Amino acid sequence: MAKRKKRTKKKSSSTLLKYTAWTLAIIALVLTSLIVGYYLGVNNEKTKTIVKEKVIVKEKKTAKIPKAPVSVNKRLKEVLKKETKAYASAAHEIDDETLANPPKAKAKKVEIYTSKPKLAIIIDDMQTTSQVRAVKSLHLNVTMSFLPPRAARPNSAKLASHEKFYMVHLPMEAMHFSAEEPHTLRIYDSQQKISAKIKDIKKLFPKVGYINNHTGSKFTANEVAMNRLIFALNTNHIHFIDSRTTAKTMAPKVLKNFGLKYVSRDVFLDHHMDKPYILKQIKKAIAVAKSHGSAIAIGHPHKNTLQALYESKDLFKDVELVQVNKIY
């Protein structure tokens, strides 16, 4: 009996030691895992902090470096790069190159003015969002003249509606021009037809108070056609500004018969598309304004024309750039 009791005690002690050993091993394993996890977490946080600090330092360095200003030339290229070139040059408007310059027959006296001479610059052929953006990027007080909408430019009237002041560039029959606009006024159009077209223009452009002719060398040289047009415009309280696309224009005679003032373009800026020529024409327009108190110049939303206007900002300090309605 005594021997059995001793064996039972030995077995119990051995089992207890085994359980104790396993328990301690498990506790040691858990503690080791916790310690390792802690250090890994700390290191991970340190790494994140270092990365964040590096990013912040990089951002600060980047913020300190000022961005190079985008040149107006590049900006104009960007806004006009999607535009299709409708014409090889702006010469489609007039038949004779001499007409691009101030008319010699125009009897304007040279006078001394107490106020700054006024210069109105009309930008013809306006029809797309990119053109409007390009013109506005100049930050110059110029007058935009919008072509009536058609399939290729359905939003021209909508674009004009956002402007406080604008003109309509009304297509009229030309002597020599194949790329004619839809709904062009023709010399054989009846009074009823011309009046209806002007009413349509008024509906499309409710704020319009001034129009100038797009091409129109044949139409404006026809006295009967011009009588019909001026009658329709006068009925709708719209003023006519002669783009002077022909030396044979009948606009002065017709307007005089209606008891209205004749106003025309003095200088055509971009008959040729090279920038030196356009810069020379801008100087001519300023000279006319200085001599006579006011002048009207016409250009188009082409890259070289807009670039030349931008580069002439210092020259414009000698005149007051105004909308057409401040002259007529």
Task: Read off the pLDDT of residues 270-328 as tens digits, 9 standing for 90 and up.
Answer: 999 999 999 999 999 999 999 999 999 999 999 999 999 999 999 999 999 999 999 98
The SS3 call for residue 241 is: strand
Tens-digit pLDDT profile for residues 139-167 = 999 999 999 999 988 999 999 999 999 99
Tokens of 263: 């106003």
Q: Residue 22: which pLDDT band, with cuts at 50, 70 and 90? A: confident
Give the 3-state secondary structure percentages of the chain, helix then strand then coil, rounded to 5: 50, 15, 35
Residue 118 DSSP class: E
Angle (deg, nearest 10), helices 223-235 and 191-204? 40
- The full DSSP string for 145-183 is EEPPPBTTBTTHHHHHHTSSS-EEEEEE--SS-SSPPTT
- The most distant pair of C-alpha atoms in the chain lies apart, rounded to whole Å, by 151
Give the mean pLDDT of 61-87: 54
pLDDT of 258: 98
Residue (of 167, 164, 187) closest to 175 by Cα position: 187
**What's the mean per-residue pLDDT of the chain?**
83
Burial 274-302 (b: 16+ CB within 10 A, else e): eeebbbebbebbbbbbbbbbbbbbbbbbb
pLDDT of 34: 64
pLDDT of 3: 46
Residue (of 116, 125, 209) closest to 167 by Cα position: 209
Q: Which of the two residues, 88 and 125, has the higher pLDDT score?
A: 125
pLDDT of 210: 99
Residue (of 322, 249, 304, 259) closest to 94 by Cα position: 249
The SS3 call for residue 122 is: strand
pLDDT of 84: 45
Q: Residue 206: which pLDDT band, with cuts at 50, 70 and 90? A: very high
Residue (of 230, 247, 248) closest to 239 by Cα position: 230
Give the mean pLDDT of 180-187: 90
Residue (of 92, 88, 85, 83) closest to 243 by Cα position: 92
Tens-digit pLDDT profile for residues 115-146 = 899 999 999 999 999 999 999 999 999 999 99
Q: Please, what is the Cα angle at 246 between 80 and 285, to 5 degrees? A: 60
Q: Which of the two residues, 36 and 33, has the higher pLDDT score?
A: 33
Cα–Cα distance measured from residue 150 to residue 139, given in angstroms and rounded to the nearest whole number = 28
CB contact at 8 A, 324 and 167 = yes
- Whether 170 shows a pLDDT value over 90: the answer reads yes
Cα–Cα distance measured from residue 78 to residue 75, given in angstroms and rounded to the nearest whole number = 5
Amino acid at 162: H
Tokens of 81: 């790069």
pLDDT of 51: 47
Residues above pLDDT 70, as percent of the chain: 68
- Whether 105 shows a pLDDT value over 70: the answer reads no
pLDDT of 71: 56
